[in-house]
A and B are shown apart, each in its own frame.
Chain A
Amino acid sequence: MRPILLKGHERPLTQLKYNKEGDLLFSTARDKIVNVYYSHNGERLGTYSGHQGALWSVDVDPTSTIAATGAADNTIKLWEVRSGRCIHTWNFPTAVKVVQFNEDGNMLLAITEQRMGYQGTVYVFPVIIDVEAKQAEEPIIKFSSPENKFTKAGWSYLNKWIITGHLDGSVSKYDAKTGELLQKVVVHEKEVTDLQFARDMTYFITTSKDKTARILDTKNLKIMKTFVADAPLNTGAITPLKDYVILGGGQDAKDVTTTGSRQGKFEARFYHKIFEDEIGRLKGHFGPLNHIAVHPAGTGFASGGEDGYVRVHHFDKSYFDFLYDVERMRPE
């Protein structure tokens, strides 16, 4: 598996995102720009510049018409994917940590950071997928959790709920229409660092600084699987096609200078989703992995590191062929 090494950013990566078809790859970093690449060969389509602060999050609507970005300059911007034109800006009192379109592409979920007396808040904005349309200024709904800082959030299937991850390691489920807290479970011992849904959004994976990742059932937040790693985890993704999960993380950036490179654990780890066993590792980054995104078709994945690089991988045949004995015995 030879990765394509993309050096499009000068600062640590924060998020990667494939579009629905998986032909485009969006990347955000702390260097205030968004890069868009062709995923199959890593050629850069273009760069969206305009943000005044580090970018934290990016998403693209299902028709690949509009991209949304959230940044530390307290704004969300909407961009025309094709041209890189900024078509709308929402302003907030604090930095925007997460942006995500719903499955219909008509609503945008955002969370803002808890800082300077402002509470961390979840917003839902209506979005019209038309680059010429006037976007609504006011959110449909907003709610906050005063005692428990949000770190990550995502839409459930059918736009029913909003699932949020928290600083204390808990995961909450809010009603997406009323903002009512429906359920809260403590899943991790430390901060939830990533929350990514499976393709059909019926389950999701959370990763944490407590060196574990867990798969939860969206409907009842029941812990289905647990993956134990040997380093703090920053990110995890569920692979379609094969029953794997890919986890990434490593020594905190602030500790890296004081320890040997070999202890960093800057590898992408592959675990079997059902058996919870580690099945492989992929070296490459020389800083912690900040984000992993899997190609929607399950044919490859991209990882972004603290080292400023994006590595795009297309899986080899052996990846698809690998099966446990029991999987061979009982083919689906």
Chain B
Amino acid sequence: MPARIEDHSRTILDTAVVIDGAPIVTEKKVDALTRVLKKLFSEAGRVREDGLYMPMGPDGKSKGYLFIGFETVEQADNAVRGLNNKRLDNKHTLLVNKFTDIKKYGDDDEEDEEYNEPPEQPYVEQEHLRSWLKEPNSVDQFILYKGESVGVFWNRKSEVPEVNVNRSNWTETYVAWSPLGTYLCSVHHQGVQLWGGDEFGRKARFIHPGVQLLDFSPCENYLVTWSPEPIQLIPENSPMRASFPFTTADEGKQIVVWNVQTGMPVRTFSSAVGPDSENGPGPQGPKKISWPAFKWTSDDKYLARVVPGQQIFVYETPGMGLLDKKSIRIDGVVDFEFSPAVIKGTGKKDEPEHVISYWTPEMNNQSARVTLMTIPSKEVIRTRNLFNVAECRLHWQNKGAFLCVKVVRFTKTKKSTFTNLEFFRLNEKNIPIEVVELKETVINFAWEPAGDRLVIISTSDVPTAPGAPLGARPPPGKVPGMPGPGGPIKTSVSFYGLERSKGVNGQFRQIMTVERKSSNSIFWSSNGRFVVVAAVGGTSNNTGELDFWDFDFEGEKKEIPGAEEVPANLTLMASGQHYQLTDIEWDPTGRYVATSSSMWGRAMETGYRIWDLKGQLLREEHVERFKQFLWRPRPPTLLTKDQQREVRKNLREYSKVFDQEDIAEESQASKELIAQRLRLLEEWRAWRKAVEAELAADRGGVVPLAFKSEEDGTEIIEEIVEEVISEKEEEIED
């Protein structure tokens, strides 16, 4: 072929894409399908006149593949990037490839007729991303971020933490762990980086200019990032263009969902959800973004977000298409939560089902309502009508067995509010609901992890600051303060439990209430049983008060009238205080509690403390310009339920061994300390001796005035001098 023609044909061929996986249709429906596809692909660019060619088979049916020609190469590239793996409907997923690619990889070229065995790639050892779990004593790691340096340390209890890595300027704004602890995320202006393995080498980079917030899916498969700067394309000729992952379709978007494995964006979204279109422009004013923008199901299968008042968008991974290609329209919907558990399919298919719970306020003469719906079958399994509702919050127990809806209700006069707790029991037939009515306003609420007990903090004073999403961690990067009350309001802390032995008839009973506290936050150990109730934030003298509670105290059982059937022996083990603390975190094994006061929380005195679960202070360190303390999370245990039970049964045997190890370690440590001190003492004394000898030689026996003593021994002479200041005589008459 002459070069000129070849050039031309290359351009033509470069603008063509091959689409596979399209529905196979008969002659009659070809037009309809062409229309749909044309419309779909015009998203990516302009389809050339007569640019769509769908070959037909001899049987009069289409072959399921077709060709589309665009006007430019870029548009064709867009189509490949944006529409590959596009789900047309339940049965059909489009595979879009460049025609030239198909030719390049698919066609056997003349000279390559013979099959050449590809050269064997040498095996490259990959780092073990979870190697920290191999520590024989299950010692946990944590991040300390102070000044400009970020370090990962091993917890050495009361001793100085042992450095794993320590780097300065590792991050520009803050650091975070991925939810299973595999990666450390550093946040830079250019994007997010993931680090992992023994030496914390770089594992992934996600280019997202101006990124501020990030959120992982629960299984670490996806990463969601948000930047206040809408994505702008880098000019074509820039050298950065090659590594820039976005295309024209992503322009102006602010939220990016990434595949952690490939490091490529899966889909981009606008941060403001438009009124009608799926992700239309919408007002992008200074409106606050609610973070995390998407809520995930526990298995990373679905992610969803709400357009308040209108609908919930549920997207399906990995294609990131809308579930059933349409949003769930719910008039008035305010908020929703996924259940953390997966339930067995109820419908025709055996597909695992998820439960989504959402609530709608009173409107159009309809009562407020909490609804449970299954995903993906969209079957409503339970509704609950509520009246005089000011606000609802949905709290799932972490195993999905219970849902507690905290309903803030108006009194009849509408002047004040009170709180109802509506307990949904997902594991019982027909999902029975139990109501606990409280006179006070509940400001915080937390389920025992994997348990049926809970802690409530309530107050009769109405808090001045509206409560932030309770139980949710504040977004990293923001000032990590909890929803602190404006002033030192008095709160009461109540402990509830389910009468487990009564089965279905069991009710949630109050175990204990502690009045006149200033606590506002609840921190459960990840394994349940132990809970820390604390006063976080604020400036009053009580801030930083910590109470360490044990629900199953191994000691004398106290009978609590009215709650005999609740399996609990609640005991306050210890109280402590960490003035101006800003963050509290349990270690992932539930053995230690770290409290920290960060300079982001405007604490004057920054640093961290480590306590054991009994509330004993193990370590206290003041750190200048201290920013973050983060325990490294652990993936869920690999032991089966039986194995776990076995461990629990033989706990005494294990603890004997551990105690001995602890004692050995301690005595070793104290031996080292004594040796160290001895050395210091010897060094000092040797130095003093040398210096004194030298000084004596220098002085040559001359004693300066300052060291001359006239007599040995001191003598205190105290003189009492009486001085008559004035004298006055008065006659006193009887």
Given known contacts A259-B604, A260-B539, A263-B604, A40 and B716 CB-to-CB distance under 8 angstroms:
yes
B680 touches A274 (CB 8 A): yes
Q: Check A21 for interface membership: any CB of B closer than 8 A.
A: yes
Given known contacts A200-B695, A260-B541, A262-B579, A326 and B681 CB-to-CB distance under 8 angstroms:
yes
A104 touches B605 (CB 8 A): no
Q: Check A316 for interface membership: any CB of B closer than 8 A.
A: no
Among B266-274, B448-456, B586-594, B702-710, the stretch that binds chain A is B702-710
B680 touches A275 (CB 8 A): yes
Given A203-B691, A230-B605, A274-B681, 15 further pairs, Cβ under 8 A = A62-B704, A103-B704, A103-B705, A103-B706, A104-B705, A243-B684, A251-B604, A260-B539, A263-B580, A324-B677, A325-B677, A326-B681, A329-B678, A330-B678, A330-B681
Which A residue sits closest to B718, measured CB to CB?
A: A41
Q: Check A7 for interface membership: any CB of B closer than 8 A.
A: no
Distance in Å: Cβ of B66 to nearest Cβ of chain A:
71
Q: Check B685 for interface membership: any CB of A closer than 8 A.
A: yes
Query: A158 contacts which of B579, B680, B698, B718 (Cβ < 8 Å)?
Result: B698
Question: How far is B706's CA from A156's CA once the two chains are assembled, in angstroms?
Answer: 13
A157 touches B695 (CB 8 A): yes
Question: How far is B692's CA from A44's CA once the two chains are assembled, in angstroms?
Answer: 37
Residues of A within 8 A of B (CB): 20-23, 40-41, 61-63, 103-105, 157-158, 200, 202-203, 211, 217, 219, 224, 230, 243, 251, 259-260, 262-263, 273-275, 297, 324-327, 329-330, 332
B705 touches A202 (CB 8 A): no
B705 touches A63 (CB 8 A): yes
Question: How far is B674's CA from A269's CA once the two chains are assembled, in angstroms?
Answer: 23
A263 touches B705 (CB 8 A): no
20 CB-based A-B contacts, threshold 8 Å: A23-B714, A23-B716, A40-B716, A41-B718, A62-B705, A62-B706, A63-B705, A105-B706, A157-B698, A157-B699, A200-B692, A260-B539, A260-B579, A262-B579, A274-B684, A275-B677, A275-B681, A297-B714, A326-B674, A330-B678
B655-712 residues with Cβ-Cβ distance < 8 A to A are 674, 677-678, 680-682, 684-685, 687, 691-692, 695, 698-699, 704-708
B706 touches A104 (CB 8 A): yes
Chain B residues with CB below 8 A from A263, complex form: 579-580, 604-605
Distance in Å: Cβ of B480 to nearest Cβ of chain A:
20
Query: B622 contacts which of A158, A217, A230, A273 (Cβ < 8 Å)?
Result: A230
A103 touches B681 (CB 8 A): no
Which A residue sits closest to B677, measured CB to CB?
A: A326
Distance in Å: Cβ of B363 to nearest Cβ of chain A:
47
Distance in Å: Cβ of B537 to nearest Cβ of chain A:
14
B541 touches A103 (CB 8 A): no
Given known contacts A105-B705, A326-B681, A21 and B539 CB-to-CB distance under 8 angstroms:
no
Chain B residues with CB below 8 A from A273, complex form: 684
Query: B704 contacts which of A104, A251, A325 (Cβ < 8 Å)?
Result: A104
Which B residue sits closest to A218, measured CB to CB?
A: B691
Chain A residues with CB below 8 A from B691, complex form: 202-203, 217, 219
Question: How far is B161's CA from A92's CA once the two chains are assembled, in angstroms?
Answer: 54
Chain B residues with CB below 8 A from A202, complex form: 691-692, 695
Distance in Å: Cβ of A330 to nearest Cβ of chain B:
6
Chain B residues with CB below 8 A from A158, complex form: 698-699, 704
Which B residue sits closest to A202, measured CB to CB?
A: B691
Question: How far is B409's CA from A154's CA once the two chains are assembled, in angstroms?
Answer: 73
Main SS class of interface, B: helix
Question: How far is B191's CA from A11's CA once the two chains are assembled, in angstroms?
Answer: 55
Question: How far is B604's CA from A156's CA once the two chains are assembled, in angstroms?
Answer: 38
Closest 7 CB pairs of A and B: A103-B704, A103-B706, A62-B705, A62-B706, A230-B622, A326-B677, A105-B705
Given known contacts A200-B695, A332-B685, A103 and B707 CB-to-CB distance under 8 angstroms:
yes
Which B residue sits closest to A276, measured CB to CB?
A: B680
Distance in Å: Cβ of B671 to nearest Cβ of chain A:
12
Chain B residues with CB below 8 A from A297, complex form: 714
Question: How far is B540's CA from A262's CA once the two chains are assembled, in angstroms?
Answer: 11
- State how many residues of chain B have any CB contact under 8 Å with chain A: 30
Which B residue sits closest to A258, measured CB to CB?
A: B604
Chain B residues with CB below 8 A from A251, complex form: 604
Chain A residues with CB below 8 A from B678, complex form: 326, 329-330
Distance in Å: Cβ of B521 to nearest Cβ of chain A:
20
Distance in Å: Cβ of A157 to nearest Cβ of chain B:
6
Question: How far is B695's CA from A317's CA once the two chains are assembled, in angstroms?
Answer: 32
B698 touches A325 (CB 8 A): no
Distance in Å: Cβ of A67 to nearest Cβ of chain B:
15
Distance in Å: Cβ of A65 to nearest Cβ of chain B:
11
Question: How far is B704's CA from A85's CA once the two chains are assembled, in angstroms?
Answer: 27
Chain A residues with CB below 8 A from B699, complex form: 157-158
Question: How far is B681's CA from A224's CA once the two chains are assembled, in angstroms?
Answer: 12
Question: How far is B707's CA from A272's CA once the two chains are assembled, in angstroms?
Answer: 25
A62 touches B708 (CB 8 A): yes
Distance in Å: Cβ of B362 to nearest Cβ of chain A:
45
Which B residue sits closest to A327, measured CB to CB?
A: B681
Distance in Å: Cβ of B313 to nearest Cβ of chain A:
47
Question: How far is B622's CA from A109's CA once the two chains are assembled, in angstroms?
Answer: 38
Which A residue sits closest to B696, measured CB to CB?
A: A200
Question: How far is B711's CA from A21's CA once the two chains are assembled, in angstroms?
Answer: 11
Question: How far is B605's CA from A224's CA once the two chains are assembled, in angstroms?
Answer: 28
Distance in Å: Cβ of B428 to nearest Cβ of chain A:
50
Chain A residues with CB below 8 A from B707, complex form: 103
B566-613 residues with Cβ-Cβ distance < 8 A to A are 579-580, 604-605
B597-644 residues with Cβ-Cβ distance < 8 A to A are 604-605, 622, 624
Query: A262 contacts which of B541, B682, B685, B698 (Cβ < 8 Å)?
Result: B541
Which B residue sits closest to A157, measured CB to CB?
A: B695
Q: Mark B443-462, 1 if CB is under 8 A from A, else 0.
A: 00000000000000000000
Distance in Å: Cβ of B587 to nearest Cβ of chain A:
25
Question: How far is B683's CA from A326's CA once the two chains are assembled, in angstroms?
Answer: 13
Interface centre among A105, A251, A274, A297 (most CB of B within 10 A): A274
Chain A residues with CB below 8 A from B624, complex form: 211
Distance in Å: Cβ of A125 to nearest Cβ of chain B:
17
Chain B residues with CB below 8 A from A22, complex form: 714
Which B residue sits closest to A330, measured CB to CB?
A: B681
Chain A residues with CB below 8 A from B687, complex form: 217, 224
Chain A residues with CB below 8 A from B541, complex form: 260, 262
Chain A residues with CB below 8 A from B684, complex form: 224, 243, 273-274
Question: How far is B681's CA from A329's CA once the two chains are assembled, in angstroms?
Answer: 11
Question: How far is B715's CA from A40's CA once the two chains are assembled, in angstroms?
Answer: 11
Chain B residues with CB below 8 A from A274, complex form: 680-681, 684
Which B residue sits closest to A277, measured CB to CB?
A: B677
Distance in Å: Cβ of A161 to nearest Cβ of chain B:
12
Chain B residues with CB below 8 A from A219, complex form: 691
Chain A residues with CB below 8 A from B680, complex form: 274-275
Chain A residues with CB below 8 A from B705, complex form: 61-63, 103-105
Question: How far is B539's CA from A251's CA once the two chains are assembled, in angstroms?
Answer: 17
Query: B706 contacts which of A20, A260, A324, A327 (Cβ < 8 Å)?
Result: A20
Chain A residues with CB below 8 A from B580, complex form: 263
Which B residue sits closest to A259, measured CB to CB?
A: B604
Chain A residues with CB below 8 A from B706, complex form: 20, 62, 103-105
